Structures are given as structure tokens and as C-alpha cells.
Structure 1
Amino acid sequence: MSTAPALPRQPRRLGPRGEAWFDRGLAVGLAGLSLLIGVAAGAPDWALLGLLQCAPLWWRRRSPVAVYAAVAAASALQVLLVDMPLFSQLAYPVAVYAVARFSTAVAGTVALGVGLVAAATAAWDWTSPYVDPVDYPLQQVVSYATTIGVIVVAAWALGTLGRTRAAYVDALRTHAEQVARDAEQRAELAASDERARIAREMHDVVAHGLSVMVVQADGARYAAAKDPDVATAALGTIAATGRESLGEMRRLLGLLRSEQTGTRPQPGLDDVAGLLEQARADGLPLTVRLPDPLPSVPTGTGLVVYRVLQEALTNVRRHAGLVRDVEVVLDAEPGGLVLRVTDDGRGAAAGGAGPGEPGRTGGGLGLVGMRERVRATGGTLATGPRGGGGFEVVARVPV
């Protein structure tokens, strides 16, 4: 069994509080050592310059440009007061690093340029008192200037590298947050689609089962006085339909609770014949024309055809009134299936205005659910009353 490689340990980083204390310690430490060196050497100007150069480092993250300007001004003052390097000059590369790290690229470049000029100026100031002008003074000046310039360039390069790396990490973090938001939105959309799908399934199951039970119950009520055997058969059909509908509802509710319900799969094209036989047994006068053999189609396509047919038959029971013939035709055409369900009932012709006859164009969800199912497969659904009475449902489902 393969195991995922361990992630490399991330380096420890200071938090905001730790960074603040580090800056304070750096400023206090450099300023304190500079004061001690100045006092020990009996040079108050050294102590003053050390304080002026090192104390601003306290605010190097908050105001890097201002801190650099203060340190650079104190270093320029040193050229006028002292003709030798001081310990406190360590503050200058620290200030250059702060500008390159915590400010903009332009400010860092300006600090680098000023630092290189300052390196040449300091080298000339420190070497001129000790070198004879005739004894190749430029060699000493270039040597000192190069050494100081390398320190300045290194501080600028490290600061620039830190700034670009921080910008890259921020960009990665922003991208990751955007990806997380997109994933959350996709999950919400998928959940919404799943809820709509389950709602359609529940509507189909409940509407079909209850319509069959209502029709059979009415028939049993009328036949009970004259022919008890017919009433008994109708009651048996009611019980069987109720059990089947309850099983379907348990399966759908199981989908909401778990990804694996252990129940039977969704109905498909092979179950259409059984659905039609059940409709005949319920008393619908059907004329059926199915392809023989049934074409092999994807599971999703078969489910859509089955549900559309189921809902169409349910609507006939609920809204068509007295029908003499319900024609069901399923044709396999190039690129898809065409399902046509027509009836000669009077529900559509009457407009659904009569008592107990809600009509086909009411506020129910049956036609809406059928249309959503067919559109989800890229197909089309046409519904409407027929000339001379009746209603027609035509669904084209691509394969």
C-alpha cells in the first residue's frame, strides 16, 4: 500500500508580535553597542551618530522609506564629523534591506543607487587622510568602495527577494481562496440540481401512485354494491400501487441520507412495458406501438423516457376525464427517441374549468418536471391540446 510522501517541514516564521519585538531588539541592540563604543572611546560624536543611525530601525517595517531617509541623513552627517568607519554604520544596509523588502520596487532601486554613491563617497572620505595623492589613491578608494557596494547590493537583493516572494505567496493565497469559493459555488449548484432532481422523482412517484389509487378507489366504490369481485381486485391494485410507491419513496429518501442505499436501480426503457401493462390493468384504454426490440440507450435516457411516460399517463388519469383511447407511440429515430402520448379526453377541450376538472394547464408541476427532465438531456418537449379534443405530449430525447 503506497503512502503519500510527507510534506516538507515549513520554516518557522515570526508573527506580527514577534516581528515587532525583533525590530525593537535590533534597534536597541545596535544603538546600545554604538553608545558603549562611543563612551569607551571618549568620543561623544560617535555616540550621537550611533544613536541617530540605529534608533530609527525601531520603525523599519512600519515606515521603511522614512527610516531609510533618517539613517542616510545620519550617515551623510558622519562624513562631515568623522573620517573613519563606525560600528553604527551597520544600520545602513539594514535600512536598505527594509526599503527593498517592505516598500516598492522603485523606492528600493532609489535606495540602491544612493547606497552605491554613498559607498564611493565613504571610501574616498576614509582613505584620503591616509594615502599620499601621488601614491595611486584610486586603488584604495576602489577597493573600499567595492567592499561597501557589495554589502549594499546584497542587502538590496535580499530585500527584493523577500518582497517578490511575499507577493508570490499572497497571489497563491488569493488564488487558493478563489478556487475554494468556486468549489463551494459548484457544490451549492450541484446540491441544488440534486434537490431539483429528487423533487421531480418524488413528484412522479407520488403523483402516479396516488392517481392510480384514486381511480381504483372510485371504481371500487361504485362496483362494491354490484360486483364485489371487481371491488376486491381494485382494492388489491390499490394496495400493490401503494406498496410500490412507498418503496420508491424510501429509495429516494435513502438517497438523501446515504450515497449507497442498497435498493433497486432506477427504472429504464425496459420497464416501459410493465408501466403500460399496469396502466391497462388500472383501466386506461391504451393503444401502444413500441419498437421491437427496444433500442439500447443510456440509463439516463431510459429514465427520462420512463418518467415522461409515467407523468403523461398520470395527467390523463387526473385531467382527461372520460377517454376512449390513449395512444402511446415510441419511435427510435436517428440520434434519439420520440415519445408521443395522445388522448381523446375532454379535459383539455373544456379548459379545466369544470368542477373537479383542474385541466392540463393549471399550476401543477407535472409538465414543468417533464420539461426539465427532457431539457437536461438536450431534448425538446411539446405539449398542448389537440384539435377536436384531447391532449398530446411529444418528447424528443437525444441518445
Structure 2
Amino acid sequence: MFRPISRTWLIVDIVGAVLGFALTTPLTFVFGTSGLSAWVPEGPLSTVAYVTVGVILWGAAAIARLSPTLALSVAWFGAVIQMGMGLPPAAYDLGIMVVLFATAAWGSRRLLWIGGVSALGGGVIGGLYFGVVWSGELLTDAASALRAALIAALLASVFVLAMVMSWGAGLLWRVILSGRETQVARAQAEMLAAEEQERVRIARDMHDIVAHSLAVVIAQADGARYAAAAQPEIAAEALGTIAQTARGALSDVRMLLTQLRHRQGDGPQPTLADLETLFAQVRQAGVEPRITVDPMPPGEPPGAIQLAVYRILQEALTNAIRHGDGAVEVHLAWLPDRVDLQVRNVIGGEAVPTAGGHGVIGMRERAQLVGGNLQAERHGEQFVVAASLPIGGSVAG
């Protein structure tokens, strides 16, 4: 029944209701009270009647934001007391308008429509009641009855118009508040989506960098261990490759961490010119890639395509180092509208890259980011990674 509102708004509502009562009650006496019915004679009793009804109606207005349901009930009670005492319409009835506004603005969906019915029904009832009872017409003939009916219809129209306008203003404010909430929710959803995309990107980059570098380091370390006794110079060369690879990986990781702290822009990304360094690392790890580029690039491919090709090759060659046995075949075909990429390697033992692994997922995401597609699956004794990336209208990743 009670809505959670801040103490500030509660104080504002109470102060506003007190001011409303203080301003409207004197106006009632300024415009006169001659319309009081016979059972509330003019004098101290009439003053008490006016003040009592004013307190009830503005008391309902004071709690309208806190509890629109209770405020509507109290307002109806005050209106019934007002009609029951035969009191004429007065300035303090503005408190009813405040309550109707609150039912539409802050009430539940059910209370919203109850408030609308109250605006219509209350206006008609009040107009008819005051038009017949308070007009002072004695219904002695057809003419007096017609005059009373006209007065009742006029008052009912005025009351309905005023109450429906108050309720409609609250409905408009409800729509505005709902629009603001929708905008806030959309902004939060967009922020969460952006954060999730950033986490995925960072995870993908970290996997590409760390997995490849560790695969090279592990292969070199194993080779150095076996060659240390017979050929120390090969062991020393392997240790140098390990150090060089580790330094490169450390530099790349530092670049990613810098991007996390400072979002002004991405650092330098690998291009096609860095593929020779990548192939050299693979050779040092004991895997000989056989590379075919036919046809050659017809110019300078977009940066996003170069990055995607590099990262896909990096992950595919890393899988070849970890799970392959022997040489790796790499084929690149730079066509006018796309680049086709294929990496084939013989699978060693029973270790096979799974389609649901992080590496395969990362390669597939790399391809999708530039509008392409990628398949990674086993063909007999070979594991084949095949991708097709459109060159025209690619999306920067």
C-alpha cells in the first residue's frame, strides 16, 4: 500500500498540502457560505464543517505520492462527508485533483483505471448532487425541474472535465517516467553488452598471445632438454628462442593491460608483415610450415582483415605445435572480394583440438567479427581449419 519514497519528497508533499489547505480554506469563506443546507446552519458549526472537510481532502493530498490507494479512499470519504453535510463546491476541492493526479502517475495499473473511473463517476455524482441539492431550486413545476437539471448538467460537465484533466495529467507524467526508466534500462543493457564484448575481446587476445607463446616455449624447452647432453649449442639456441618468445608475449600482455587501464585507443596490432616472424617461431618449435600464397594480395588489405588472418593463423599453428605431428600446410588465396585461408596438419596421437575449445571458438569469433566464417574439423588423419573472410565492407575488429 505504501510506496518507497525519499524523506525529501514526503516532506515536500506534506508542506505542499499544508500550503494548499492554508490558501484554499480562506477562499471558501471569501466567496461566501450562503449555500449551506439547513442541517448545517451558518456560524461556528459551518466553519468547523468546512475546516474538517478541507483537512480530510488535503490530508489525502499529503499522502498521495506515498500511498495513492489510501489517498483515493480518504478523498472519497471527504467527498461523501462534504455532500452529506450539504456543503457547496469550494476551493479546497483542489485536493481531490491532486489525489487523482497521483493515482494515474504513481498508482498500480489497477489503481490507474480505478482513478479514471473515480474521475468520471465522481464528477457526474458531484455535479448531479450539487446541481439538485445545493442549487436551492424547489422542484415545484416543470420549469424548476428543467433549471435544476441544466445546473446539474453544467456542474457535472465542469467537474468531469476538471477531474479527468487532473487524471490525464497524471497519466502523462506516468508515461514520461516510464520512458525515462526504459531509457535507463536500455543504457544499462548497452553498457553491460559493451562490457561483455570487451571481456570477450580481451579473453580472445590473451588466449591468442599466451597460448601461442607457451606452445613455442614448451616445444623449445622439450627440445633443449633432450639435446642438452649431446648438442649443447642447440640447447643454447633453444633457450634463446624461449627468452625471445617470452619477451614478446610479455610485451603483448603489457599492451593489453594498458588498454584495460586507458581506453583512448588500441595499441599496434599484428599485420601481414608480422607473419614471417610467426612462421619463424613455428619453425623454431620444430614444426615446418609449408606456405602457399596464391594469388597474392591485390593491394593493402584492410587492417581488420590483416589482424584476423594473423590471429587465425597464430591459433591454428599453435594447435599444430601442440597436437600435430610433422609438417603444416598453410594456404592463402587473396581474391578480389575475399581471402580464403586453410591450415592442414597431421594429428599426432589422440590429442585433437575440440570444436568447443577456446582456441577454435576464438578463431570462429575472429572470422565473424569481419563478416566471415570458419570451420575447424577433422578430416581423416588431418585437422583442417578453413576460413573465408570478405575484403570489401569488412567490419573493424
What is the TM-score normalised by the length of structure 1?
0.71
Whether the aligned pair in 1 keeps the contact of 2:97 and 2:163 (CA below 8 Å) is: yes
Deviation at 1:197, TM superposition (A): 1.6
2:236 pairs, out of 226, 232, 238, with 232
* In structure 1, distance between residues paired with 2:93 and 2:165: 15
* In structure 2, distance between residues paired with 1:328 and 1:213: 22
Quick one: structure 1 residues 166 and 191, their matched pair in 2 at CA, closer, same or farther if it must change by over 3 Å?
Answer: same
| One-letter code aligned to 2:386 | V
| One-letter code aligned to 2:236 | T
* In structure 1, distance between residues paired with 2:190 and 2:355: 34
* Equivalence for 2:82: 71
Question: Secondary structure in 2 aligned to 1:342?
Answer: strand
Larger Rg over CA atoms: 1
* Equivalence for 2:250: 246
Give the fraction of aligned pairs with identical amino acids, expressed as a percent: 30
* Equivalence for 2:180: 176
* In structure 2, distance between residues paired with 1:74 and 1:59: 14
Whether the aligned pair in 2 keeps the contact of 1:65 and 1:99 (CA below 8 Å) is: no
CA-to-aligned-CA distance 1:91-146 (integer Å, 9 cap, x gap): 68547746765673333334444455456547863799xxxx9xxx99xx79xx87
Quick one: structure 1 residues 95 and 179, their matched pair in 2 at CA, closer, same or farther if it must change by over 3 Å?
Answer: closer
Whether the aligned pair in 2 keeps the contact of 1:112 and 1:152 (CA below 8 Å) is: yes
Whether the aligned pair in 2 keeps the contact of 1:211 and 1:314 (CA below 8 Å) is: yes
Deviation at 1:225, TM superposition (A): 3.8
Question: Secondary structure in 2 aligned to 1:15?
Answer: helix
Deviation at 1:260, TM superposition (A): 3.3
Deviation at 1:316, TM superposition (A): 1.2
**Which deviates more, 183-192 or 157-166?**
157-166
CA-to-aligned-CA distance 1:310-354 (integer Å, 9 cap, x gap): 011111111113x1x31100113464322111123x51xx323xx
| One-letter code aligned to 2:374 | L
Does residue 350 of structure 2 align to residue 351 of structure 1? yes
* In structure 1, distance between residues paired with 2:250 and 2:389: 29
Question: Secondary structure in 2 aligned to 1:266?
Answer: coil
Does residue 59 of structure 2 align to residue 55 of structure 1? no
* Equivalence for 2:328: 326
Question: Secondary structure in 1 aligned to 2:350?
Answer: coil
* In structure 2, distance between residues paired with 1:320 and 1:91: 90
Gaps of 5+ in 2: 1-8, 61-70, 104-113, 392-397
What is the TM-score normalised by the length of structure 2?
0.71
* In structure 1, distance between residues paired with 2:164 and 2:374: 64
2:292 pairs, out of 289, 294, 300, with 289
Equivalent residue pairs, number:
346
Question: Secondary structure in 2 aligned to 1:265?
Answer: coil
* In structure 2, distance between residues paired with 1:303 and 1:44: 90
Question: Secondary structure in 1 aligned to 2:296?
Answer: coil
* Equivalence for 2:164: 160
* Equivalence for 1:221: 225
| One-letter code aligned to 2:206 | M
Whether the aligned pair in 2 keeps the contact of 1:331 and 1:338 (CA below 8 Å) is: yes
Deviation at 1:366, TM superposition (A): 1.9
Gaps of 5+ in 1: 1-11, 79-87, 353-358
Question: Secondary structure in 2 aligned to 1:292?
Answer: coil
* Equivalence for 2:342: 340
Question: Secondary structure in 2 aligned to 1:280?
Answer: helix
Does residue 314 of structure 2 align to residue 303 of structure 1? no
* Equivalence for 2:377: 384
| One-letter code aligned to 1:90 | A
Does residue 278 of structure 2 align to residue 275 of structure 1? yes
Whether the aligned pair in 2 keeps the contact of 1:96 and 1:108 (CA below 8 Å) is: no
